[in-house]
């Protein structure tokens, strides 16, 4: 049983996941005007400014050894943001997030030696198999969108690995500098795709909302909650992300999933939650290095 403090922290993590996915849905609504590249650029650049003002990284010293890991961490974060928005453009956000969550799941499974973890792997593979656009399948998903989501998952896995190295720097500093480095990836694409449209009042305002909902606010909520939660509970709660994304996608964007797609989402959520519950503590910490 969770005590009241842990229950409150769990609700904060759940609220952070809802915030992230509402931000994703609002961002997708901007695609017609500035494209996924423009949304990714606004999200990372505005979030970087907010995080820099909050973390004040200039008060901390980054060594020559730490700097390359921070750069790799940030570039991977930027790539992950761009790829998942490209996936959102072509497939429902609930499906894209379900595929993307395979990234951290793969990291946990790769470092686990438990035979029962093959069950979680089997569930994840079954979920992915349901999403593959097999010939003759009804309501087949865009294969390019699936590829973008898989690439985003790979970036998420690398993001965790690079994040563990970058975490040698104070956490708020690492995230603020990482988000700044992410702009090196997203801004060139965003400026090329949308140009001056990025700076129009309405677009800039919605971009700021997306940045707050998808990055700054959930980061602060998760940072506070992690002080009161075990990594197991954190992993289980964050595993709900694909289901939350699917519901938000339906409510805000009218994205309807087929029964098979919902089953795939359930399988992916179960695999991620089960892996979090049964993984060893040393492995679990890989999940905590994820800042969405």
Residue 244 has a pLDDT of 92
Per the CB < 8 A criterion, the answer to whether 39 and 30 are in contact is yes
Nearest to 161 by CA among 290, 273, 71, 277: 290
For every residue of 166-230, which 3-state class applies, written as one string? HCCCCHHHHHHHHHHHHHHHHHHHHHHHHHHHHHCHHHHHHHHHHHHHHHHHHHHHHHHHHCCCC
In this structure, what is the dihedral angle of CA atoms 195, 36, 159, 5, given to the nearest 10 degrees? Answer: 110
Q: What is the DSSP letter of 141?
A: P
Per-residue confidence in pLDDT tens, the chain, 292 aa:
456 777 777 788 888 889 999 999 999 999 999 999 999 999 999 999 988 888 787 777 777 777 888 899 899 999 999 999 999 999 999 999 999 988 888 877 776 667 777 788 888 889 888 887 766 555 578 899 999 999 999 998 888 888 777 767 766 778 888 889 999 999 999 999 998 899 888 899 999 999 999 887 887 777 666 666 666 677 777 788 899 999 999 999 999 998 889 999 999 889 888 877 776 544 444 444 444 4
Token digits for 166?
A: 């970058």
Per the CB < 8 A criterion, the answer to whether 279 and 112 are in contact is yes
pTM of the complete model: 0.86
Q: What is the DSSP letter of 142?
A: P
- Collapsed DSSP state (helix, strand, coil) of residue 152: helix
Encode pLDDT of 175-234 as tens digits. 888 889 999 999 999 999 998 899 888 899 999 999 999 887 887 777 666 666 666 677
Nearest to 57 by CA among 162, 143, 178, 161: 178
């Amino acid at each position: 049983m969770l005590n009241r403090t842990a229950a409150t922290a769990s609700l904060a993590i759940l609220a952070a996941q809802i915030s992230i996915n509402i931000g994703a849905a609002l961002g997708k609504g901007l695609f017609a005007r500035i494209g996924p590249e423009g949304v990714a650029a606004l999200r990372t650049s505005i979030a970087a400014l907010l995080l820099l003002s909050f973390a004040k990284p200039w008060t901390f010293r980054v060594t020559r050894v730490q700097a390359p890991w921070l750069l790799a961490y940030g570039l991977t974060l930027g790539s992950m943001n761009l790829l998942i928005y490209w996936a959102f453009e072509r497939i429902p956000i609930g499906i894209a997030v379900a595929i993307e969550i395979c990234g951290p799941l793969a990291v946990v499974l790769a470092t686990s030696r438990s035979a029962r973890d093959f069950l979680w792997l089997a569930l994840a593979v079954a979920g992915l198999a349901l999403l593959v656009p097999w010939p003759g399948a009804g309501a087949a998903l865009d294969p390019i969108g699936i590829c973008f989501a898989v690439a985003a998952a790979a970036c998420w896995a690398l993001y965790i690995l690079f994040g563990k190295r970058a975490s040698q720097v104070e956490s708020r500093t690492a995230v603020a500098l990482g988000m700044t480095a992410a702009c090196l990836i997203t801004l060139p694409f965003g400026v090329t795709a949308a140009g001056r449209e990025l700076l129009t009042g309405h677009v800039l305002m919605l971009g700021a909302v997306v940045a707050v909902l998808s990055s700054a606010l959930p980061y602060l909520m998760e940072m506070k909650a992690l002080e009161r939660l075990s990594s197991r509970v954190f992993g289980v709660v964050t595993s709900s992300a694909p289901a939350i994304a699917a519901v938000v996608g339906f409510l805000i964007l009218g994205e309807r999933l087929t029964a098979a797609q919902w089953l795939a989402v359930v399988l992916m959520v179960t695999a991620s939650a089960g892996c979090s519950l049964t993984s060893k503590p040393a492995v679990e910490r890989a999940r905590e290095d994820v800042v969405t």
